[in-house]
Amino acid sequence: MKTSEKPHIRTLKLTCIVCPLGCKIKLLVKDSEVLSIEGNRCPRGAVFAQSEINPKRTLITVLKVNGGDLPVVSVKTSKPIPKDLIPKAMKDLSKVIVEAPVRAGDTIVKNLLGLEVDVVATRDVEKI
C-alpha cells in the first residue's frame, strides 16, 4: 500500500446462519482484517462472520446429459468457491454436456476456473 493511500475500513452487517438464533452480527473490517465483531451470541457466530469477509459457497447445479435415462445430472463443487465467481462458473458449466452413463462421484469438470476445485456428479444416470 502506498503511504498516501488510506486503509479501506468498512462495516458489514450479517445475519448468522450457523444455528437457529439468527444473530445480527456487525463486523468492522480494515482491508481484510477484522477489527471488531459484535452481536454474536456464541463463538460459532464469530467464526461465521469472519468467513463472510471473503465468502465462499459450494456450488450445486445440474448439467445436461446425452443418452441418459434422465435429461440432467446433479453436480456439486468438491470445495467451496469464492461467491463472486459463482455467476462465471454457472456460465461455463451451462456449456457442459455429459455423456451417459454417469456415476455418483465421477469428476465431470476438473479444475473449475483454475481454482483447483472439481465438479463432481452426485447421482447416477444410466445410459439408454
Amino acid at site 17: I
Same domain, 45 and 66: no
Strand duo 33-38 + 24-30: pairing: antiparallel
Same domain, 13 and 65: no
The three-state secondary structure class of 101 is coil
Domain total in the chain: 2
Same domain, 45 and 28: yes
pLDDT of residue 8: 84
pLDDT of residue 25: 96
**DSSP E strands: which ranges in 1-128?**
9-15, 24-30, 33-38, 56-57, 60-66, 72-77, 81-82, 97-99, 107-109, 119-121
Strand duo 119-121 + 81-82: pairing: unpaired
Closest C-alpha among 99, 96, 95, 97 to residue 67: 99
Instruction: For residue 126, tell me if it sits in a domain.
Output: no
The rounded distance, in Å, linking the Cα atoms of 83 and 105 is 23
| Domain boundaries, position 112 | 60-121
pLDDT of residue 33: 86
Instruction: For residue 4, tell me if it sits in a domain.
Output: no
Q: Which residue stretches of 1-128 are H helix?
A: 43-51, 86-93
The whole-number mean pLDDT for each consecutive block of 10 residues of the chain, a chain of 128 residues, reads 66 92 93 90 92 93 98 98 97 97 98 98 97
Task: Name the pTM for this structure.
Answer: 0.78
Same domain, 78 and 97: yes
Same domain, 105 and 64: yes
pLDDT of residue 5: 62
pLDDT of residue 32: 78
Same domain, 65 and 22: no
pLDDT of residue 1: 45
